[in-house]
Amino acid sequence: MSRIALIQMCAGADPAANCATAGRLVAEAAAAGAGLVALPESWFCIDADPAAGLRLAEDEGRGPLQAFLAGLAARHGVWLLGGTLPLRGEEPDRVCAAALLFDARGRIGARYDKVHLFDVDVADAQGRYRESRVVEPGERIVVADTPFGRLGLTVCYDLRFPELFRAMSAAGAEVFVVPSAFTAVTGRAHWETLLRARAIENLAWVLAPAQCGTHPGGRETHGDSLVVEPWGEVIARRASGEGIVLAEIDLERGRRLRAEFPCLDHRRL
In the chain, the domains with their CATH numbers are: 2-266 (3.60.110.10)
Largest CA distance in the chain: 51
- Catalytic, out of 10, 19, 41, 96: 41
* Annotated catalytic residue 10: no
CB atoms within 10 A of CB 65: 21
CA distance 157 to 114: 9
Could you give the angle at which helices 15-31 and 64-76 cross, rounded to 10 degrees?
10
Tell which residue, 26, 27, 40, has the closest CA to residue 207.
Answer: 40
Average pLDDT (239-257) is: 97
- Catalytic, out of 10, 19, 156, 212: 156
CA distance 259 to 263: 9
* Annotated catalytic residue 45: no
Average pLDDT (173-188) is: 98
pLDDT at 138 over 90: yes
Average pLDDT (41-62) is: 93
CA–CA–CA angle 166, 260, 257 (5° rounding):
55
pLDDT at 238 over 90: yes
- Catalytic, out of 10, 45, 96, 114: 114
* Annotated catalytic residue 114: yes
